Amino acid sequence: MHVLLDLVPGHTSWDHPWFKESMKAEKNEYTDRYIWTDSIWEEPKGYGSLRGISDRDGSCVVNFFSHQPALNYGFYKPDRPWQQAMDAEGPMATRKAMLDVIRFWLSKGCDGFRVDMAGSLVKNDEDSKGTIALWQDVRKILDEEFPSAAFVSEWGEPDKSLKGGFHMDFLLHFGPSHYNDLFRCEKPYFGGEGDASEFVKKYMESYKKSERKGLICIPSGNHDMDRLSRYIKGDRLKLAFAFLLSMPGAPYIYYGDEIGMRYVEGLTSKEGGYNRTGARSPMQWDDSKNAGFSSASADKLYIPIDPDAARPTVKAQMTDEDSLRSEIKKLIAIRQSYKPLQSLGEIDFVIDGAPGKPLVYVRTFNDEKILVVINPSDKAIEIGSDQKVSEVVYCFGKKPEINGDRLIVNGVSAFFATL
């Protein structure tokens, strides 16, 4: 097992010693560690801010919430006197401090980082040019000092993040990727009625721009998204994982998604979770107290367990060959058995999952090819293939009917076949 830590380079808490020093009226080494305007009466346009909380005259830019003052990495195009250039003394000191944090944890034995909101550091940043350059500098230093450290970005724009030197980027529920079209919208593709074509178009644009520079990764979810099972039900969850585990890049499975953990409705927000809180409930291991997560009394849990007595558990699914967890284990074994299905296998889409159409793509590694066909709709669909199917190596749902170069793909089914 390898352990990646969560690196949050964009902000600190407002209780952080750096920020307490930065709030002081007297100039010190932390004065420019954060982004401040020159006057309390000037609120930074386009950004949230903290105002009137310190002896220092100025408003401080925040990232998202009031308790998250933004660290100062400079502005790609400064347009106000208080906006410092990227190579100014303050931004460069911040960069050095971030590198010290990275070095500290890597020297303690961690294997790398998932970098929170990696694309947000430099402000007024045209096409992310400044932030890309910043991460290229960081990556150069890491390659020299910690060449085995893994660097994963929460950016969602792989054409930028991988250019910046990250090994991997995972797609997000916001931004240009159309990831939501697949899993989280009014009619998600894997819900049986949606449209995957815009996702395919954008994915291939990013793939062509960034191929061989790193991995584009598609997660089942994360702590900022609704649970996958909130939108996709029953056997279609298995089809979603047939897709996730047959695409290029490293698969990311959010804890509990492998057993279909549900979004817990109506929870009170914890630390800014708000509507995300319901996707952060404790892991459900078995049918014992607190689903095996903790022996504490229920009122002491930070976030409550799903109260539904029929909640899915690992224990129940381990002994059920038809469970979601068991299907995912089969898919992982298939992926590990065929090089084309793994991270570096190339991909070409044959059918783009437009309304009423399946997703069909070919994965290739050297001379080996695997055809992947996924149909989340209820209807059987006939498709043509210009390459003869050799052997079906994985199938979920009713088996396809193969007649020469014609395939009938049954509803709510998926199969992988060698070509």
Query: What CATH number does the domain containing 387 carry?
Result: 2.60.40.1180
Residues 270 and 294 in one domain: yes
- The residue range of the domain holding 267 is 88-335
End residue of a domain, out of 294, 311, 335: 335
Q: In terms of DSSP H, where are the helices of 47-111? A: 89-107
Does residue 181 share a domain with residue 263?
yes
Instruction: Please return the burial class of 105, using the count of CB atoms within 10 Å of its CB with bins 0-12, 13-18 and 19+.
Output: middle
306 and 328 share one domain: yes
pLDDT of residue 35: 98
User: Do residues 182 and 297 both lie within one domain?
Assistant: yes
Q: Rounded to two decimals, what is the model's pTM?
A: 0.95
What angle do the packed helices 129-145 and 89-107 form, to 10 degrees? 40
- Of 311, 335, 359, the residue that ends a domain is 335
The pLDDT, as a whole number, for residue 351 is 96
In a domain, residue 63? The reply is no
Closest C-alpha to 36, from 93, 75, 77, 92? 75
Percent helix / strand / coil, the chain, rounded to 5: 30, 20, 50
Q: Is 326 left (phi over 0), alpha (psi -120 to 50) or beta?
A: alpha
Question: Is the separation of the CB atoms in 157 and 119 below 8 Å?
Answer: yes
Out of 300, 335, 370, pick the residue that ends a domain: 335
What is residue 384's predicted lDDT score, i.e. its pLDDT?
82
173 CB-near residues (< 8 Å, 6+ apart): 179, 180, 184, 224, 225
From residue 162, give the alpha-carbon distance in Å to each of 126, 159, 165, 169, 348.
17, 6, 5, 7, 20
Evaluate whether residue 23 is within a structural domain.
no
**Do 234 and 324 share a domain, yes or no?**
yes
Q: Does residue 49 belong to any structural domain of this protein?
A: no
Question: Distance (Å, rounded) from C-alpha 167 to C-alpha 2?
Answer: 15
| Residue 283 shares a structural domain with residue 370 | no
Are 326 and 391 found together in one domain? Answer: no
Task: Identify which of 179, 264, 7, 181 has the alpha carbon closest to the alpha carbon of residue 110.
Answer: 7
Residue 380 class from Cβ within 10 Å (0-12 exposed, 13-18 middle, 19+ buried)? Answer: middle
Residue 331 lies in a domain: yes
Query: Is residue 151 domain-shared with residue 296, that is, in the same domain?
Result: yes
On whether both 353 and 215 belong to a single domain, the answer is: no
Please report the pLDDT score of residue 387 as a whole number. Answer: 74
Mean pLDDT of each 10-residue bin along the chain, 419 residues long: 97 98 97 98 94 96 95 97 98 98 98 97 97 97 96 96 96 92 97 97 94 92 96 97 97 98 96 95 97 96 96 98 98 98 96 97 97 97 84 96 88 97
Phi, psi of 384 (to 5 degrees): -100, 155
Rounded CA gap, 218 and 20, in Å? 39
Say how many domains are in the chain.
Answer: 2
Residues 234 and 126 in one domain: yes
Check which CATH number belongs to the domain holding 194 and give it: 3.20.20.80
| 179, 320: one domain | yes
pLDDT score, position 137: 97
3-class SS of residue 208 = helix
Is residue 29 assigned to a domain? Answer: no
Residue 386: what pLDDT? 77
